[in-house]
Amino acid sequence: APPAAASASPAAADPRRDRRAAAAAALDELLPLAHLWSRGAELMAGDQASQRHCAASHCVPVADLFLRAQADADLDGGGFGATLPRDGIVDARECLSREDKISDRGRDGGGAGGDKAKAIFSKLTDVQREVAVASLPRSAKEAAATLTKEAALCRSPATIMHALEALADALGVRLRGADKKAERSLLHAHKKGMEARLSAEEQPAAALLLAVPLVLAVTRGRAVAMTGRSLAPALALIGEGGLLPTDDLLFMVTFHRDVVASLAHTSGAAAKTTTTTSPVSGGNDSSIGDAGKDAGEDVDEAARGSRATQKPGESAGLSERLPELKRIALECRKAKGGGGEDE
HEC secondary structure over the chain: CCCHHHHCCHHHHCHHHHHHHHHHHHHHHHHHHHHHHHHHHHHHCCCHHHHHHHHHHHHHHHHHHHHHHHCCCCCCCCCCCCCCCCCCCCCHHHCCCHHHHCCCCCCCCCCCCCHHHHHHCCCCCHHHHHHHHHHCCHHHHHHHHHHHHHHHHCCCHHHHHHHHHHHHHHHCCCCCCCCHHHHHHHHHHHHHHHHHHHHHCCCHHHHHHHHHHHHHHHHHCCCCCCCHHHHHHHHHHHHHCCCCCHHHHHHHHHHHHHHHHHHHHHCCCCCCEEEEECCCCCCEEEEECCHHHHHHHHHHHHHCCCCCCCCCCCCCCHHHHHHHHHHHHHHCCCCCCCCCCCC
Helix axes 180-200 and 318-331, enclosed angle (nearest 10): 150
pLDDT of residue 274: 39
Mean pLDDT of 199-211: 97
pLDDT higher at 14 or 302 = 14
pLDDT higher than 60, residue 48: yes
pLDDT higher at 124 or 310 = 124
pLDDT of residue 10: 53
pLDDT higher than 60, residue 262: yes
Euclidean distance between CA atoms 313 and 208, whole angstroms: 12
pLDDT band at 112 (very low <50, low <70, confident <90, very high): very low
Supply the pTM of this predicted model: 0.75
Q: Which of 21-25, 283-287, 318-322 has the lowest mean pLDDT?
A: 283-287
User: Is 131 in contact with 75 (CB distance < 8 Å)?
Assistant: yes
pLDDT higher than 90, residue 289: no
pLDDT of residue 121: 83
Share of the chain above pLDDT 90, in %: 58
pLDDT per residue over 179-199, tens digit each?
A: 888 899 999 999 999 999 999
Euclidean distance between CA atoms 148 and 169, whole angstroms: 16
pLDDT per residue over 311-333, tens digit each?
A: 544 556 999 999 999 999 999 99
pLDDT higher at 168 or 316 = 168
pLDDT of residue 176: 83
pLDDT per residue over 62-90, tens digit each?
A: 999 999 999 998 887 754 433 333 333 33
With a CB cutoff of 8 Å and minimum separation 6, the contacts of 333 are 218, 219
Q: Which of 116-125, 181-190, 265-274 has the lowest mean pLDDT?
A: 265-274
pLDDT per residue over 295-313, tens digit each?
A: 455 566 555 554 444 454 4
pLDDT higher at 276 or 252 = 252
pLDDT of residue 252: 98
pLDDT higher at 272 or 262 = 262
Longest distance between any two alpha carbons in the chain, whole Å: 87
